[in-house]
A and B are shown apart, each in its own frame.
Chain A
Amino acid sequence: MATLLHLIQAEWLKLTRRPLIWLLYGTFVVLLLITFAALLFVVLLHDGAIGGVAVQVLNDNQINQFRQELRFPGVFGALLGQINSIGGILAMILAAGVIGNEYSWGTLRVQLARQPQRGYYLIAKLLTLLLILLVGMLLVILAGGLFTLIAGWLLGNLGRVSAGDLGLLLLGMLRALYVMLPYVLFVVAASIIGRSVLAGVAGGLIFLTLDGGAGTLSFLSQTDNPIVRGIYNLLLQPNISRLVAQHRQSFGTDPTAVTGLDLSTLPPTWQAIIVIGVYSIVFAGYAYVSFTRRDIVGAS
C-alpha cells in the first residue's frame, strides 16, 4: 500500500506540472463557454432582447430547456453532458499522452528499472489519471457556474442551488467519470500495445468511430425481435446514452428535448452500469496483462 501511495504521489507531480493537461482543460473551458454563449444568444434572440426583434426558430419546449440549462441547478446537467461529450474526447487524448509519452520519452524504462512491480505502477497511473479528470471536471463546473451567474443575471432568473443539488452534482461527476472509463481504458490499452501516443490516439479514434457507428444502428432497439434488441443493448453506445441522459434528468431538464433521444428504447440503468463495467474490466485487464508481461523496450 505504501508503494502504491508513493507511486501516486510521483504521478500526481508529473501530471499536475504537465502543460498538456492545462492546455486541454483550457481548451475545454473555452469550447464550453462558446457553447453556452450560443445558447444564451439563441434565448436572447427568441426574447427579442437583441436588436428589439424576436427571432423564434425553436419551439417553446426547446427554449424552456435552454432557459433551464442557463440557470441553477439545470446548468449542472448540461455541464455533465458536455463533460461526457467534448470532455470524453479530451480525456482520451490525455490518457494517450499520459501513457504513450512515457514510452516515447524513455521515462518508463527509467522508472520501471527502479520499480519493477509493474502492476502497481499501472494502477497508480490510472488512479492518478482519474483524480486529475475529477479535478478537470471541477474546473469546468466552476467555469460553467460563473458563466451561469452572468447568463442568469441577463435572463433575470439565476435559479437556486440546494444541498441536495450539490449531492446530485457529486453523484453526477462520479457517473460522468464512470461513463468515460471504457473509452479511457481502451486508449490506455492501445497506447501500451503500440508503445506510443499515436497508437493510443489512433486506437481511440477507431473506437469512437465504431461506437458512433453502433449509434446509427439504434433502429435495432425498436425491433420486435427481443434477441436483436438484446444484442444491440449489449453494445456500449445505448448503455452510455442511458447514463448520460440521467445527467439532465437528475436536474429536472428533459434530455429528449435537446438531443432527440428516445429514452424508452434504451436499456435500464442497472444494465447500463453492468455493461459499462464489463467493457471497462475487459479493457483494463487487457492493458494490465500487456503492461505487466510485455517487454518495455524492443530489440536494440
Chain B
Amino acid sequence: MSTEWAIEFHALTRRFGQHTAVDALSLRVPRSSVFGFLGPNGAGKTTTIAMLLGLVRPTSGHITIFGHDVQRTPTTALQRVGAMIEYPAFFPYLSGYDNLRVLARADGIAQPHARIQQVLALVDLAARSKDRFKTYSQGMKQRLGIAAALLNQPDLIVLDEPTNGLDPAGTVEMRELIRTLASEGRTIFMSSHLLHEVEQVCDQVAIIKQGKLIASGKVTELLHRGQGLLVQVTDQAEAAVALLGKLDWVNSVRHEGLTLLIDAPHERAAEINALLTRNDILVAEIRTREASLEAFFLQVTEQP
C-alpha cells in the first residue's frame, strides 16, 4: 500500500478509568522524515507510542503505519517497524549478542550472525557484545536498544527518549546515527525531552499536553513562531502590555515582572520604543528574543 505518510493517527483516544491519557490525537508523520514527538512528563507520549506498537489498545480512533491499520492488521503494519520504547529492556543474564540473537531468531532473520555483527558495529558495541547485559552502563544499554530496533532493517524507527543516559559524546553519536538512518530514506519517530537535540535532528515536531495535540509543524516554522522581542521597562509593565496589545502587528504580548515578551516583527522595535516613551513608560533595554524550540515548547506548554 503506497502512501506519503509513514504514520497516521486518526482521532486516537485512550482512557484509563477516569483519566484520559490521549485525547482525540490526529497527526500525520511524513515518510522519510525525522519527526519529534514532544510533551511534558505525563503528557501521553509513551501511551501513544505503546498504541502505535500495538501494546496498548485505543479506546477509540485508529493508527495506520504505511497505510496498514495497526489494530486490524498488526503483523503487516508492524513488520517494517523497529522500536525502542521507554527504556532498553533485555534479558539481564544474556550477553548483548545473545539478546540480539533471541530477537533475530524470533524475527526469522536469515544469516543472523552477520546482521547482528553489523548492528553492533553500527552502535559501537561490538567489543562488549559478549558481556552480560546486566554489566552494561546506561549508555551501552541504550545503544543495544538502538541496535535491536535496527535489527530487522525497518523502514520506520520509533525511538522513545533515545539519548537517555548517553554522555555528550554518545549524544552526538546518536544524533549522527539518526541523521544517517534518515539519509537512507527511513522514517524516524522519536520522543525526547532534550529539545536542543530535537531541534538539531528533526524536520518536524508535534507537541502534546494532557493527551491533546497543541502544536505541530516543521521545526523552522515553529521557530519562526517563537521569535519576537524582549523589552525591559522600568515600571508600568501592565500598562505597557495594554498599550501594545492594541497594535495590529503585535500577535501577542505578556509580561514577566518588568520584562515584556512580545510576538512581533524585529523591525518594529524602534516603533515600540517610541510608543512606550510617548506614554511615559521608560525602556531600559530592547533585544531580539532568541528563537529556540525550547522557548517555543515552554511557551505553548505553560499556557493554561
Contacts and interface: CB of A to CB of B under 8 A. Distances in A.
A300 interface: yes
B178 interface: no
Contacts, number: 100
Nearest to A298: B16
A105 B89 contact: yes
A229 B101 CA distance: 54
The residue in B19, B55, B77, B82 that gathers the most chain A C-beta atoms within 10 A of its C-beta is: B55
Interface in B49-63: 50, 53-57
A117 B85 CA distance: 19
Interface string A110-132: 11111111000000000000000
Given A2-B108, A6-B107, A296-B56, A109 B102 contact: no
B50 A10 contact: no
Nearest to B103: A114
Contacts of A17: 91, 93-94, 98
A135 interface: no
Contacts of A18: 91, 93
B74 to A, nearest CB: 4
A2 B46 CA distance: 32
Contact of A105 (B77, B90, B148): B90
The residue in A10, A105, A110, A116 that gathers the most chain B C-beta atoms within 10 A of its C-beta is: A110
Given A6-B108, A110-B103, A299-B21, A105 B91 contact: yes
Interface residues of B, number: 38
Contact of B89 (A13, A14, A110, A295): A110
A226 interface: no
A300 B86 contact: yes
Majority DSSP secondary structure for residues of A touching B: helix
Nearest to B57: A295
Majority DSSP secondary structure for residues of B touching A: mixed
B105 interface: yes
A61 interface: no
B55 A107 contact: no
B217 interface: no
Interface string B91-119: 11110001001110111100000000000
B81 A113 contact: yes
Contacts of A163: none
B47 interface: yes
B296 interface: no
Interface string B38-54: 00000000110010011
The residue in B19, B54, B105 that gathers the most chain A C-beta atoms within 10 A of its C-beta is: B105
B183 interface: no
B108 A3 contact: yes
Contact of A114 (B77, B78, B87): B78
Contacts of B50: 109, 295-297, 300
B91 A114 contact: no
B55 A297 contact: yes
A299 B21 CA distance: 8
A107 B78 contact: no
Interface in B272-303: none
Given A113-B81, A295-B55, A299-B21, A10 B91 contact: no
Contact of B93 (A3, A19, A114): A19
Interface in B202-239: none
Given A113-B81, A116-B78, A295-B56, 16 more contacts: A7-B106, A10-B103, A13-B102, A18-B93, A19-B93, A105-B92, A106-B86, A109-B50, A110-B83, A110-B103, A112-B53, A112-B55, A115-B106, A117-B75, A297-B46, A300-B50
13 contacts: A6-B106, A17-B93, A105-B91, A110-B103, A113-B83, A113-B85, A114-B78, A114-B82, A115-B107, A116-B74, A295-B50, A297-B55, A299-B19
Interface of A: 2-3, 6-7, 9-10, 13-14, 17-19, 105-107, 109-117, 295-300
